[in-house]
Amino acid sequence: MRELKRIIVHATATLGDERGDVDIETVRRWHVDGNGWADVGYHFLVRQDGTIERGRPLNVQGAHAKGHNRDSVGIAFCGGIGVTSREPEDTRTPEQRKALKWLLNGLCYFFPTIVEVIGHRDVSRKACPCFDARAEYQHLTNGQEPKPRA
């Protein structure tokens, strides 16, 4: 298993309503057919109803944040574009917020080497995921480099 140090949260950059609620197979087609990648770039996708779908296996490096994939987990939620404004916006549904927090809690518990949860915008010049993931989820990790296991 790779050593995981961070989780990077993304949005799919789709509308924040039922038109933007895509499944992992749709995102996989975007990434494989559109970008020429080997597989979907994310490890997980959180649908608008809170359903969590698996993408790449965790033991496989993602393709979601250029230069930051080696030791990270990529999680995207469906949405991120305002229905009225058509601009980047935090469109998470209550179900997505709950599911995302549950998933992040679980990953941080099972992988104590994870020291931060951040947004894609923290490592690139993008608005994604349209909210401050670092501030919202800082309580999930201790923010310190893990000590080597004996």
Query: How far is Cα 124 from Cα 54, in angstroms, rounded to an integer?
Result: 24
Angle made by CA atoms 38, 40, 45, in degrees to the nearest 5 = 165
| Paired tokens of 77 | 């939620």
Query: How far is Cα 21 from Cα 114, in angstroms, rounded to an integer?
Result: 28
Please identify every residue annotated as catalytic.
Answer: 10, 42, 120, 126, 128
